[in-house]
Structure 1
Amino acid sequence: MSATPPIDRARTALLFVDPYNDFLAPEGKLWPMVASVATELGLLNNLRKVVAASRGAGLPVIIVPHHRWKDGDLDGWDHPNPYLLGGYQHKVFETGSWGGDWFVDFAPQPGDLVATEHWGSSGFANTNLDFLLKQKGISRVILIGLIANTCVESTGRFAVELGYHVTLVRDATAAAGPEAMHAAHDINGPTYAHAIVTTAELLAALASPKI
């Protein structure tokens, strides 16, 4: 697996998973869960660097958002999983609330795309993400955002099943603890991702001569 693969800018997009206040702001409902790992890695600064470098390199930025809580969402469901139930009980990413709004540094900019909201962990399942990427001629994706071993991993695995080249950025994500991060990048990641890089490695690749 190449540590710093060349970036085919004409065919690559940055996928930013779940850039909500509830995840990334200190007052967010889910920030306490990821705060230790996020702080140790310098998550917010790394996300800022990756987004800025991707824009500077001309890569499309696509927001991949989780479903926002609405009252009655799960009424009549046969098989809501624990992940869905936990989010529902705590009104995570509540529609119309501050927590369900974009973290200010990562709000969509003109020219960005926002995929339809995913219910479970994969940004591709039951959304228009694959359609958006294909319309842009994209066959390679770089994944950042939250959480490393749930939505980021599931989106990456689904991308591979659809034929995309997948790059993970190990310090532009976070999880509930170091064990989850280890599983995401050192155990599970190598079974599907084509490249697993650091922010610094990705920035170097984006700054290299255009291909």
Structure 2
Amino acid sequence: MDIAENAALVVVDVQKGFEEAGFWGPRNNPGADDNVATLIDVWQATGRPVVFVRHDSVKPESPLRPGYGGNGFKTYVEERRGKGAGAELFVTKTVNSAFYGTPDLDAWLRARGVAQVVLAGIQTNMCVETTARMGGNLGYDVVVAHDATYTFDLEGPFGWRLSADEVARASAVSLHGGGFARVVTTGEVVDAAK
């Protein structure tokens, strides 16, 4: 796998509010945060651009709502902001896709000649997947570091319920099998980026 010299790392919604297990329910992949941190460190050390995305929920009960402590980035992410040698962007959004945020992510990437994006963050099947799908639709070479994402158990129609692991697998299969993104491990990304 090749990781471009100017590939952008898009860190999606790594916010304190996702630590409120009583709101979200059981999660998967307890190692995701370590993998996100590793990716940020590699991107910053190699001078590649990093995009930090924050979800500003419009739902008054959401732990991600503005003005509530859960809206902020997790400490390890906040501590890394502004530390890299490469370009950095902070995007806020109220919907699933980072491409529908402020400022305009697509315009920022294109102005820098970025054609490849690597995604990590929360939730695998929500904002990470939606951003990956849109990135693919917009013509980007999208790479999802699957083990640098996590999600939660989810109930759908007909009383169907999937565990967080099942939801994450379904998301990975849909993205990779559907041609929206290459779904890989953090280790593969790091090895290719060094």
Q: Secondary structure at the match of 1:16?
A: strand
CA contact (8 A) 1:22 1:30 kept: no
SS in 2 for 1:59: coil
CA contact (8 A) 1:17 1:146 kept: yes
Q: Which residue of 2 aligns with 1:97?
A: 68
| Percent of aligned positions that are identical | 26
| Aligned position for 1:136 | 112
TM-score (norm 2): 0.82
Kept after mapping to 2: 8 A contact 1:153/1:189: no
Q: Could you report, residue by residue, the CA deviation over 1:16-65 in whole angstroms, capped at 9, with x for unpaired residues?
A: 00121112xxxx335863754132xx111111111111111221000122
Deviation of residue 125 (structure 1)? 2.3
Equivalent of 1:119, from 63, 75, 94?
A: 94
* 1:188 has 2:188 as partner: no
1:168 partnered with 2:139: no
Against the structure 1 CA distance between its residues 105 and 31, is the aligned structure 2 distance closer, same or farther, given a 3 Å change threshold? farther
Which sections of structure 2, spanning at least 5 residues, go unmatched?
153-163
1:92 aligned counterpart, secondary structure: coil
Distance, in Å, in 1 between the alignment partners of 2:110 and 2:14 is 23
Distance 1:150-1:36 versus aligned 2 partners, 3 A rule: closer
C-alpha distance in structure 1 between counterparts of 2:2 and 2:173, whole Å = 22
* Structure with the larger strand share: 2
Matched letter for residue 187 of structure 2: A
The separation in 1 between residues aligned to 2:176 and 2:5, in whole angstroms, is 23
* 2:41 maps to which of 31, 52, 55: 52
Please list, as runs of the form range in 1=range in 2, the aligned pairs for 1:59-74 lying within 5 A after superposition. 59-69=48-58
- Say if 2:28 is the partner of 1:37: yes
Do residues 148 (structure 1) and 124 (structure 2) align? yes
| Structure 1 stretches of 4+ moved >4 Å | none
Structure 2 Cα separation of the partners of residues 199 and 153 of structure 1: 16
Q: Which residue pairs with 1:85 in the alignment?
A: none
The runs of 5 or more residues in structure 1 that have no matched partner are 70-87
C-alpha change, 1:30 and 1:13, in structure 2 (3 Å) is farther
Relative to structure 1, is the Cα distance of residues 66 and 31 closer, same or farther in structure 2, using a 3 angstrom cutoff? farther
Specify the alignment match of 1:76 in structure 2.
none
User: How many pairs align?
Assistant: 177
Q: How far does residue 123 in structure 1 lie from its aligned partner after superposition?
A: 1.0
TM, length-normalised to structure 1 = 0.76
Residue 68 (structure 1) shift:
4.1
Distance in structure 2 (CA, Å) of the matches to 1:19 and 1:138: 23
State the SS of the aligned residue for 1:121.
coil
| 1:22–1:31 contact (8 Å) kept in structure 2 | no
Query: d(CA) in 2 for partners of 1:187 and 1:126?
Result: 24
Tell me if the contact between 2:123 and 2:149 (Cα under 8 Å) persists in the aligned partners: yes
- Supply the AA of the counterpart residue of 1:199: T
CA RMSD of aligned residues (A): 2.0
Q: Which residue number in structure 2 is paired with residue 74 of structure 1?
A: none
The 3-state SS of whatever aligns with 1:182 is helix
Higher RCO, Cα 8 Å, sep 6+: 1
